Amino acid sequence: PKHLLDFQDWSPERLSALLDNADTMSQVLDRPVKKVPALQGLTVCTAFFENSTRTRVSFELAARRMSADVVSFAAGASSVSKGESIRDTIEVLTAYKVDAFVVRHAAAGAAHLVARYSGKPVINAGDGRRAHPTQALLDAYTIRREFGSLEGKKVAIIGDVRHSRVARSNAELLPKLGAEVVLCGPATLLPRDLAAAGVTLTTDPKEALRNADAVMALRLQQERMDAGYIGSLQDYARQYQVNDDLLAFAPEHAIVLHPGPMNRDVEISSQVADGPRSRILAQVENGQAVRMSTLYHLLVGRQ
Ligand code: CP
């Protein structure tokens, strides 16, 4: 595929190759000099119409580690604040000979628009609640590094599933790679239409954790939430917080993930987030290698 907008056009073989290549990128990042010439002469634009820490920094570092030039576009500091449209903005950036776009936007489908207006390879870095494919790839990579394979693994994803592009992308990706996904949360935050092959839904966190190899807590996205989805944060935390009490229902080998940013002591206890089962900083670290692999795949490997 020319783009990574979601996983629709991506075969399991292609996805596995991308994750295999992340191992090579990870070796580059372990060297004293963390730079290879793979993307020399190419320019990557990170076009962020919505805020980010991890995704933006790791994509920019990933591009620079491979010797690409990086244009960092933040909508808040641009002429978007004067009313310029996404189409005009992307056409301006494309005129500067950008070779690929990494796009984050609050509207579902925005990355597809950028692909149409730019004609360049586009990586979706999160569009509304629809998809965040490189987050799912780094989650899959983190689980694969832990257990050697995703085949037959059970991943429990607990929290605000309704507003989560991370949950949607993982529900699309992990079954393609042989894993089983259980989505769990209060009924108001658990859209029934997400059930699919390899994906089940439950409101019971103990059932979700039974036999789970990985437990992913999702942020309560209060900025996207209408009133009434949860009672109080305390009510939510009492039932669904990933803490030591809840983890007692998972196997001892189960690891804990969170895409970040975290609401500590709401959807995950600080003790678990900083504890021995947490792989949250491993996810962050792996994100850079996975994003190097994604950029390489779309800009060089595809040809
Ligand atoms: N997980 C994630 O997308 O984090 P950022 O919003 O900080 O990029």
**pLDDT, tens digit (0-9, with 9 covering 90-100), for 243-261:** 999 999 999 999 999 999 9
User: If pLDDT is split at 50, 70 and 90, which confidence band does 35 have?
Assistant: very high
| pTM reported for the whole predicted model | 0.97
Q: pLDDT digit string (tens) for 65-109?
A: 999 999 999 998 899 989 999 999 999 999 999 999 999 999 999
* pLDDT-based confidence at residue 302 (cuts at 50, 70, 90): low
Mean pLDDT of the chain: 95
pLDDT range class, residue 42, cuts 50, 70, 90: very high
Q: Give the model's confidence band at 223: pLDDT under 50 very low, under 70 low, under 90 confident, else very high.
A: confident
Nearest Cα residue to 101 out of 129, 41, 40, 59: 59
Relative to beta strand 180-184, strand 69-74 is unpaired
* Residue-wise pLDDT tens digits, 186-216: 999 999 999 998 999 999 999 999 999 999 9
Please state the atom number of ligand 1 nearest to the C-alpha of residue 53.
7
Pair 180, 154: CB distance under 8 Å: yes
Q: Which residues are annotated as a binding site?
A: 54-55, 82, 104, 132, 135, 165, 219, 260-261
Instruction: Tell me what percent of the residues of the chain surpass a pLDDT of 70.
Output: 99
- In the sheet where 43-48 sits, what is the strand order? 69-74, 43-48, 100-105, 122-127
- pLDDT band of residue 227 (cuts 50, 70, 90) is low
Q: Rounded distance, CA 79 to CA 74, Å?
A: 10
ipTM (interface pTM)? 0.98
pLDDT for 6 equals: 98
Q: pLDDT class for 150, splitting at 50, 70, 90?
A: very high
List the domain boundaries for the chain: 12-131+284-301, 133-280
Q: What is the pLDDT of residue 76?
A: 86
- Asked whether 259 lines ligand 1 (CB < 6 A), one says yes
Q: What local confidence, expressed as pLDDT, does residue 16 receive?
A: 97
- Check if CATH label 3.40.50.1370 holds for domain 12-131+284-301: yes
> How many angstroms does the Cα of residue 51 sit away from the middle of ligand 1?
8
Helix H, strand E, coil C: the string for the chain is: CCCECCCCCCCHHHHHHHHHHHHHHHHHHCCCCCCCCCCCCCEEEEEECCCCCHHHHHHHHHHHHCCCEEEEEEHHHCHHHHCCCHHHHHHHHHHCCCCEEEEEECCCCHHHHHHHHHCCCEEEEEECCCECHHHHHHHHHHHHHHHCCCCCCEEEEECCCCCCHHHHHHHHHHHHCCCEEEEECCHHHCCHHHCECCEEEECCHHHHHCCCCEEEECCCCHHHCCCCCCCCHHHHHHHHCECHHHHCCCCCCCEEECCCCCCECCCECHHHHCCCCECHHHHHHHHHHHHHHHHHHHHHHCC
- What per-residue confidence (pLDDT) applies to 225? 73
- Is it the case that residue 138 has pLDDT exceeding 80? yes
Q: How far is the CA of 259 from the centre of ligand 1 (A)?
A: 7
Model pLDDT, residue 239:
95
Separation of alpha carbons 241 and 247, rounded Å: 10
Find out whether 198 and 180 touch, Cβ atoms under 8 Å: yes
Helix axes 54-65, 12-29, angle to 10 degrees: 70
Residue type for 146, please? E
Mean pLDDT across 118-134: 97
Test site for ligand 1: of 135, 141, 257, most ligand atoms within 8 A of the Cβ: 135
Residue 169's pLDDT band (cuts 50, 70, 90): very high
Peptide bond into 261 cis (omega under 30): yes
**Topology annotation, domain 133-280:** Rossmann fold (3.40.50)
